Structure 1
């Protein structure tokens, strides 16, 4: 992920386990390895399940162990996310992403013949490569789905984020996958966006209360994969 704050850019390793009905996608990198500029990490402070990572230029990042679970039979998706340093569980339907498939553009990934597809999803354009050579499976990394096969590569056209399969292991037995969020209270995607905006508005009010007469301030979301529909807030 190439963030706007260059020092916070990351290359993170995820593991994805899937069968015909379910999948789970979770990060396995730690803070000392996933940041591109890890040598500039000055301090890491643990706040519950979240880590506050401080770089030596005084930029900060909230780091956590990302996880996303999909149940295709129930058409449900659960994942953890952050609002500032607060962990939130989001529950929504599996995203109905509309793809344009171009069978003329092909690529071999990990020995599998793949076909190109393009889409727009929540503020970004993406190019993916998927394979139909894993029989009976239709899935993809993170929130990406909806292609007739397994997505092995997804990249945003602006270079902000990409997912690329590094290893593929096919097992004959049907893997058991459980919902790690089964006992966790969740909110909808729309509610998450609402709470996110309210948190920013409260932060803006605090900024204004500490500002002198005639001073101005603003808060703007610059580093998220998805567009939350929240415009720049200012006073």
Structure 2
């Protein structure tokens, strides 16, 4: 957790600025297991929950860095995007205040989706309390997206939000973990953001294709279809009369059909190892 002195200062700052709509950034360490058959193989990513008067945005630190590098390359009219680390977590979660409407932005195949999620979290607040860092946290549990979650929230930070889609407790969620201990988020840092750092929606970013707006049920169908047919989008684009030519490092044209078969084979192999997604019910 955050060092005691830093944490206390951060909380005091947050409380003193909360009612003036000062934007804040809550940094969480996300630790997760991709393959349920290898529970000791854990990955981690630093995630940001940026909170402002209009709502919150949850995204990867590496994604933020990658987006800045990408814009700089485009600005300089360069086409070499190699070497950019986009991180392991590509989705973005946005919540609006005060209604806490949730939108997930995610890429599947060759399309970008904006997924509205209206599922409510039925929290059970328990009497158990624990000091985490220097915060007095209280325990709560809920079932969400195919998993049983245990959360610790702090009512001293008066915001009913938390990492990913989690919200609805009477205070900020500073730690949450699923029953299998294969997905966890732990608060690591709080800092004040400048006024010009207030988050912008992913829906406002320029993209090659229009963002497709769907609900959670349609997203589930698209998610499963993408795992079963990982090259569907590219094949549809080719069948529409679009010609695709790819070359190797020596400039020799590649066999597109052979390359597509290899892509599909590799994608399915990776999906088989990525069998422990956060929203487990997407696979059911």
2:125 is aligned, of 87, 93, 101, to 101
Q: Does the alignment pair 1:139 with 2:164? A: no
Q: Which has the higher strand share?
A: 1
Structure 2 partner of 1:196: 223
Which structure has the higher relative contact order (CA within 8 Å, separation 6+)? Answer: 2
Distance 2:138 2:198 in 1: 29
What are structure 2's unaligned runs of at least 5 residues? Answer: 1-31, 64-80, 206-210, 233-260, 262-267
Partner of 2:147: 124
Look up the match of 1:163: 185
- The residue number in structure 2 matching 1:18 is 51
- The match for 2:34 is 3
Count of aligned positions: 191
TM value normalised by structure 1: 0.66
Shift of 1:92: 1.2
* Matched residue SS, 1:130: strand
CA contact 1:110–1:166 (8 Å) conserved in 2: no
1:117 aligned counterpart, secondary structure = strand
Does the CA-based 8 Å contact 2:117-2:215 persist in structure 1? no
Q: Give, in angstroms, the shift of residue 128 of structure 1.
A: 0.3
Alpha-carbon offset, residue 27 of structure 1: 0.6
Higher gyration radius (CA):
2
- The residue number in structure 2 matching 1:33 is none
> How high is the TM-score relative to the length of structure 2?
0.56
Report matched runs for 1:44-193 at 5 Å: 63=88, 65-73=90-98, 75-83=100-108, 85-86=109-110, 88-93=112-117, 95-103=119-127, 105-135=128-158, 137-169=159-191, 176-182=198-204, 184-193=211-220
